[in-house]
Structure 1
């Protein structure tokens, strides 16, 4: 991913994902402040609404891409030992991958009622 996400492409990806994250997070905060679910059933009903489900499913890879580009840039700028940098990138990559799979499983499980 570092070849495709370097220089201008990394900058554009970081800005594009930041816009989506800001808009969707604003929607979530406003929804929860103005119309918080009263029960677990209400929460599941809200999450399984097609627009919200698609927003959440899109949110997961967007937040992970945003985090990956940010962490990659920090590691490239501040970790000068190549082996340590590569090792840390692998650790963050595995953590982000596992987190993304877990989040998508949670959304899908809520959607099918399991």
Structure 2
């Protein structure tokens, strides 16, 4: 794959993830303005809904992809030493992986506890 095609793929990925992030945030604003959640049980019931949980999971995945592509491009542009670049990429990947796993854990526990198990 040529460098231009790789850049186009990153550009398209940034645009699609940004679009999903904006749409989901607009949904959240509308949802909580119209039907505010009053207590923890309300939050738990809301996030335990399978569609909400799936949409939230996609939101988290979109944030992680959006962050990776954006930070990766900045590092590729401004960090020229290969060893430092590899170390920075590893640190970013580890951080984003940790955030993603923690978020999945939170969503999983919300489903388990929200279903009454």
Aligned residues: 111
| Residues 46-85 of structure 1: per-residue CA shift (max 9 Å, x gap) | 1111221110111121110110000000001111111111
Structure 2 partner of 1:34 = 34
Alpha-carbon separation, structure 1, partners of 2:6 and 2:21: 21
Superposed counterparts of 1:1-114, under 5 Å: 6-113=6-113
| Residues 1-59 of structure 1: per-residue CA shift (max 9 Å, x gap) | xx9x9311101111111110110011112222232210000001111112211101111
Larger radius of gyration: 2
Bigger helix fraction: 2
- Runs of 4+ in structure 1 off by over 6 angstroms are none
TM-score (norm 1): 0.90
- Structure 1 unaligned spans of 5+: none
Alpha-carbon separation, structure 1, partners of 2:78 and 2:29: 34
- Structure 2 unaligned spans of 5+: none
Alpha-carbon separation, structure 1, partners of 2:82 and 2:6: 17
Say what the alpha-carbon RMSD is for the aligned residues: 1.6
